[in-house]
Amino acid sequence: MKRRSRILLGALAVVCALLLAGSFAGALHPLGDSLAVFRLHFAAGVVVFASLWAAMGRRAAVALAFVGAFAVLPTAWMWVRPAEAVPAATLVHYQKNLLWVRRDMTRLAADIRSVSPDVLTVQELTDGNVAVLNLLATDLPSQQVCDFDRIGGVAVASRWAKVPGSGFCDEAHGVTGMQVEAPQGPLWVVSLHLHWPFPYSQSEQMEGLLPILQGLDGPVVIGGDFNSVPWSTSVARIAEATGTARIGPARSTYREFEPLVPLPIDHVLAPAGRSGTTETRPRLGSDHLGLVARIAL
């Protein structure tokens, strides 16, 4: 019986270790970004099963437990890192997946107005919820809307004037944007909506999306439903292509699977090196929380 228990614990520890390793392999195969969602779970499995395995006589399993624990320290840090101080001059960015269903948008518009954002990025925009942009037309008069997929389009809006001719829309890859006349100079504002990772088509979407983002000349802020966690390869590739970095710690914005699987999949990216903070906003009829970033310019 004891021998069987050792074999079972050893097998579980090794399987969790292999899955943990796979969660770092998004650059090699898109399955890695899917496994990355559960990276902390796999690491916990390695630590628990390897520790129990060691307690039953396999002392070498202690090393496996330590490897599992240390491998995820950077990922864990994304959840707990302290907020940064933001100077007085900031850009306020409100990011929201609207949810494609038809409903009254008055409460959401009021919440956005209460934050008084300089820029707004939304996804899953449909005939049933486009009223939110109409309600905010006075506050955010510069708007760029783009269709995407059957669950709705993507859009950006800003209180600042749009640079003439700068708006773009790529319906095939779920991205839209425009350059605005920010007080500190021209600034690209981009909204994107990625498909889910493997086995869905995020990887193929990324191949068409990255050249578009790489072609943007000048500073960029991006808001979107990435359907990927902060430590995924997809988020890193978009940041690299645009010279940006994620703002704030990991914040779960899609909570349908909590508490077992928190999903921080909505992100705001800003020019690398800028400090900033984030906070979540209520769902207000959506299945995503809103995300507000305050970014030093």
Residue 238 DSSP symbol: H
Taking alpha carbons only, the member of 95, 44, 30, 73 closest to residue 254 is: 95
* Contact present, 268 and 194 (Cβ < 8 Å): no
Q: Domains plus CATH for the chain?
A: 2-80 (no CATH), 90-296 (3.60.10.10)
Dist. CA 103–CA 126, nearest whole Å:
11
Dist. CA 16–CA 145, nearest whole Å:
44
Taken as a whole, the chain contains a residue count of 297
- Residue of 4 and 121 predicted with greater confidence: 121
Dist. CA 38–CA 237, nearest whole Å:
20
Three-class DSSP labels, 211-223: HHHHCCCCCEEEE
Taking alpha carbons only, the member of 98, 97, 94 closest to residue 113 is: 94
Q: What is the DSSP string of 3-65?
A: HHHHHHHHHHHHHHHHHHHHTT-TTT-THHHHHHTTHHHHHHHHHHHHHHHHHTT-TTHHHHH
Asked if the model's pLDDT at residue 268 lies above 70, the reply is: yes
Q: How many CB atoms neighbour CB 149 within 10 A?
A: 16
Share of the chain above pLDDT 70, in %: 98
pLDDT digits (tens, 9 = 90+) for 205-259: 999 999 999 999 999 999 999 999 999 999 999 999 999 999 999 999 998 887 8
Taking alpha carbons only, the member of 177, 200, 161 closest to residue 122 is: 177
Dist. CA 45–CA 285, nearest whole Å:
36
Q: How confident is the model at residue 291 (pLDDT cuts 50, 70, 90)?
A: very high
Asked if the model's pLDDT at residue 89 lies above 80, the reply is: no
Residue 103's contacts (CB-CB under 8 Å, 6 or more residues apart) are 128, 129, 285
Return the pLDDT at 245. 95
pLDDT digits (tens, 9 = 90+) for 160-170: 999 999 999 99
Q: Which residue has the tokens 């202690």?
A: 62
Question: What's this model's pTM, rounded to 2 decimal places?
Answer: 0.92
> What are 266's strand-pairing partners?
225
Q: What is the DSSP string of 70-121?
A: HHTHHHHHHHHPPPPP--SSEEEEEEEE--SS----HHHHHHHHHH--SEEE
pLDDT digits (tens, 9 = 90+) for 7-21: 788 889 889 999 999
Return the pLDDT at 57. 67
Q: How confident is the model at residue 4 (pLDDT cuts 50, 70, 90)?
A: confident
